[in-house]
Amino acid sequence: MRRFDETTVIAERQSCTQQLARFFPGVTPVRLPVQVTALRGGSTRLREASVVEFAGLEHAILVSSLPLEFDDKVRLEGSRKADTADATVVAVQYHGGQKAVAVKFLRGPNHWMIHS
């Protein structure tokens, strides 16, 4: 009887945000706590605490439980009052019960996320 050594290859599972970040080559890993507010018409403001996991000058990627869809507008607020950016949702990725959201900043390059 011959015996074979079995080698098990376990692929590292990518998070929802990592999978989405593949499509945005200008983003790098960060861990930046933010408040996310959905900017919709009417008086109701949906808001949650989240963490930006990837950021670049033009885009940010985070996990969100808000009912966000493509082209929705959001406001991201950091810990300092000046750390605020309005953005539009440009991609949504569902994976493993989570939803990653990629946003593009509306007012051009955003430096505070990558320098925080």
CATH number for the domain harbouring residue 31: 2.40.10.220
Q: Is 86 exposed, middle or buried (0-12, 13-18, 19+ CB in 10 A)?
A: middle
Any domain includes 73: yes
Any domain includes 6: no
Any domain includes 11: no
Least confidently predicted of 8-12, 62-66, 67-71: 8-12
Any domain includes 80: yes
Domain count, the chain: 1
pLDDT of the residue at 113: 77
**pLDDT tens readout for residues 5-58:** 544 443 445 689 999 999 999 999 999 999 999 998 766 779 999 999 999 999
Nearest to 67 by CA among 109, 34, 36: 36
Any domain includes 33: yes
Any domain includes 116: no
Residue span of the structural domain in which 100 resides: 16-105
